Structure 1
Amino acid sequence: MVPGAPSTTTTMLPASEAAKIYQTNYVRNSRAIGVLWAIFTILFAIVNVVCFIQPYWIGDGVDTPQAGYFGLFHYCIGNGLSRDLTCQGSFTEFSSIPSGAFKAASFFIGMSMALVLTCITCFALFFFCSTGTVYKICGWMQLAAGTCLILGCMIYPDGWDSDEVKRMCGEQTDKYTLGACSVRWAYILAIMGILDALILSFLAFVLGNRQDSLMSEELLGDSKKTPAHASSLGQFLWCFMVIFQEITLSAPHQV
């Protein structure tokens, strides 16, 4: 070293401390992402409920014979020159839904809503089960909810050839052809919900795998003396034997 030159030596943290800092940041980031995932899951549930309930999937336009709008199972159509709309349809009265395609779409969108609400209920399992397992359960539910949304959105236009839709949109209306009517915001929101469900399910699987890897590292750190080729069952039995031996040696000897 040249006399008077500044020292280039840097202080290196011990490997154990560096690993501990990395693990702490890793856990903190995972928890922050998990909170965001939970918040967006709740928002997705709200979107799903709104799409299921609101009757604004398709609606009238400038050139439509009648005013009105259609949802999954509830619809309102004008009567002649009167501005009053006659509303019909209810999910509890399945026979009142005007088209078989609308019935199928209502079923799949309703199933999607039930799945995402069940997913939110499963948040309580974080207090009782492995975090990674809960993330994966919710991920499968969100993936199934997204699949149901896809099916509902694809099947719904197949019912546009019903008499009620033609009465509002004109005789040119047919399956997957809306005639003089237009798509409304609830249908668009449902399509956006598909992307939301797929992203949330992917994120849930990523978080679940990260939690599993973190748990594996913690178990590996607690059992450094365990042979590297031992199975998970062997590691559990080895840890149990060590704990039992420690308890036996620390117990007072009986005379």
Structure 2
Amino acid sequence: MCYVIVTGRSLLWTLMSLGAALAILSALVTPRWLVGPQITKMTENGTERYTPTVGVFNRCTRLYGKSHCGNFNADGLATPSSVFPNCWKATLFFLALGMAVMTVTVIAALLGCCVQSIGKKSIFDLAGVAQSIAGITYLLGMTLYAGGWGSERVQRLCGEEAAPFYLGDCTLGWAFYSAVLGVLLTFVSAVLSGQAEKSTASDKVQDEMNEGKTLICLA
């Protein structure tokens, strides 16, 4: 018999896992990790001001009088390091790897309502371990991103004084903080997975099952 079990803690874990994955995804695809100093140009229409920004593999700037955002990793990992810093290539790899792992755990969180174990192992415990691994890969990616601040691309944006872990004239954009939030939520989700497992295996759940209920919802 298939039981659908939803508890307050398992629902919180599911939402936390989903939120962590979305925070990293939105940060990864947004070119707002680094914000350069405002640039002023004189044009035929007057004074033009804009603020260039850079992400992990994309950027936003002003071209021909219009804002333009696009990728700079045209050749993928084979893109020259002067265009796509090697440290940022590693960042993209580790963040994408972590995202893949987190996607699996989000699916596991949704399946956890109906399937509580895989091969006699708790699906919550397995997902919690996977989320810890995802969090570590995220940390590696974030560290390597900051290590790439001394690259030619960053120096063109932030000034020649920019160096690894020092931004020069640039500031951190909201996408960087979104990534930090995603890392924190990932580790919190890993901890909550244990609480979710306990709540779905509690005596209250067992009592509901003994009464013949197949849909069990507990606070």
The TM-score, its normalising length taken from structure 2, stands at 0.73
More helix by share: 1
Give the structure 1 partner of residue 47 of structure 2. Answer: none
Cα distance, 1:127 vs structure 2: 2.6
Cα distance, 1:166 vs structure 2: 1.1
Q: Structure 2: give runs of 5+ residues left out of the alignment.
A: 42-49, 211-219
Cα distance, 1:206 vs structure 2: 2.9
**Partner-residue secondary structure (3-state), 2:25:** helix
Q: State the Cα deviation string for residues 7-64 of structure 1 (Å, max 9, x = none).
A: xxxxxxxxxxxxxxxxxxxxx9x81111121122112221121111111111112479
Distance 1:86 1:44, change over 3 A: closer
Whether the 8 Å contact between 1:63 and 1:180 is mirrored in structure 2 is: no
Cα distance, 1:95 vs structure 2: 2.4
**Partner-residue secondary structure (3-state), 1:76:** strand
Q: Aligned ranges for residues 227-242 of structure 1 at < 5 Å?
A: none
Q: Aligned ranges for residues 11-160 of structure 1 at < 5 Å?
A: 31-62=7-38, 67-78=51-62, 85=68, 87-90=70-73, 93-96=76-79, 98-122=84-108, 123-124=110-111, 126-130=113-117, 133-160=122-149
Aligned AA (1:49): L
Q: Aligned ranges for residues 161-172 of structure 1 at < 5 Å?
A: 161-172=150-161
Whether the 8 Å contact between 1:56 and 1:69 is mirrored in structure 2 is: yes
Counterpart Cα distance in 1 of 2:114 and 2:133: 24
Distance 1:53 1:87, change over 3 A: closer
Give the structure 2 partner of residue 197 of structure 1. Answer: 186
Counterpart Cα distance in 2 of 1:119 and 1:167: 39
Distance 1:77 1:95, change over 3 A: farther
Paired residues, what number? 189
Counterpart Cα distance in 2 of 1:64 and 1:176: 27
Whether the 8 Å contact between 1:157 and 1:175 is mirrored in structure 2 is: yes
Cα distance, 1:170 vs structure 2: 1.0
What is the aligned counterpart of 1:181 among 165, 170, 174? 170
More strand by share: 2
* Structure 1 residue runs of 4 or more that deviate by more than 3 Å after TM superposition: 62-67, 76-79, 81-88, 209-215
Q: Structure 1: give runs of 5+ residues left out of the alignment.
A: 1-27, 222-255
Q: State the Cα deviation string for residues 113-166 of structure 1 (Å, max 9, x = none).
A: 111111122232543443971111111121111111111111101111121211
Q: State the Cα deviation string for residues 62-114 of structure 1 (Å, max 9, x = none).
A: 479994211111123457x9665574424872223611110111111111111
Counterpart Cα distance in 2 of 1:91 and 1:108: 19
Aligned AA (1:74): N
**Partner-residue secondary structure (3-state), 2:60:** strand
Counterpart Cα distance in 2 of 1:51 and 1:170: 24
Q: Which moved more, 1:117-126 or 1:164-173?
A: 117-126
CA RMSD in angstroms comes to 3.2
Aligned AA (1:89): F
The TM-score, its normalising length taken from structure 1, stands at 0.63
Q: Percent identity?
A: 22
Q: Which moved more, 1:96-105 or 1:66-75?
A: 66-75
Aligned AA (2:183): I
Aligned AA (2:163): D
